[in-house]
Amino acid sequence: MLGAALDQIKAESKAAIKAEAKAELKTELKPEVKQELKEELKAEVKAELMAEMRKSLADTVKIQFKLVAAQEANPLPTVDDASEEEAIKQINARGGRVNVLAQNTDEKVVSFHLSDKPINDEALALVRGLRNVVEINARGTDITDEAIKALVGLPNLQRLNLAKTKVTDDALIYLAAHPNLVYLNLYGTPVTDDGVGVLANLPNLKHLYLWQTGVTKEGAAKLESQIPGLEVNLGTE
């Protein structure tokens, strides 16, 4: 009986000592475990960042390729006083208007939205014959993606109203050719989150109107986070 009792005490003591040793060992390994986890997390973060950078680079290359291709396929004409005057006459004949933004400047505002005649891609392309165009209003016209492609190469464009036109996601990549854009109106067009993401390449964009489009609150918020000072207006629900 005594021997059995002693054996039981020894077994219990050994179990207690082992448990204590395991606890101590676990405590001693905690810093190493933390370091290992830290390294794993760093590796995961680096991998995610590299993937994002590769995608961003690929997107940038894609954009530049499309812009260069558009310019090479349809280079801007050489504009002088005579050719510009002729372009203005043709725009007026289509029901458009060309105005100088202010005195002592040659900055031009081109308006098609008040025309009583159909305005199509060909009509908007006449803007290519003008110098220093800073604003185009094509609201409610029949222009399509091809018209936006034709505007590639206008270096000073700051305001563009495409509300209620037939412009789609496919055209938005060509807006990257206008880094000075501060105002863009896409109200009532079929653009979506997939398309407007490319607008993150417009660093000076401050006002973007997207109500009655396929853009979601999440898509708008993401875009606002990518461009400092941008306000995206989705309208009221």
pLDDT in tens, 11-50: 555 555 555 555 555 555 556 665 676 677 667 767 776 7
pLDDT at 64: 74
In the numeric block, the tokens 């606002």 are attached to: 224
Q: Which two tokens stand for residue 48?
A: 């995610």
The residue type of 142 is D
What is residue 38's predicted lDDT score, i.e. its pLDDT?
62
Q: Which CATH superfamily is domain 81-233 in?
A: Ribonuclease Inhibitor (3.80.10.10)
CA distances from 132 to 11, 40, 74, 129, 136 (A): 93, 54, 18, 10, 11
Q: For the chain, which residues score pLDDT lower than 70?
A: 1-35, 37-38, 41-42, 45, 49, 52-53, 55-58, 61, 236-237
Q: Report the distance separating Cα 212 and Cα 101, nearest Å.
A: 30
β-pairing, 159-161 with 133-137?
parallel
Spatial distance between the Cα atoms of 170 and 198, rounded to a whole number of angstroms:
10
- Do the beta carbons of residue 185 and residue 162 sit within 8 Å? yes
Tokens encoding 78: 């050489």
**What are the extents of the domains in the chain?**
81-233
pLDDT of 1:
39
Number of CB atoms found within 10 A of residue 34's CB? 10
pLDDT at residue 66, rounded to an integer: 76
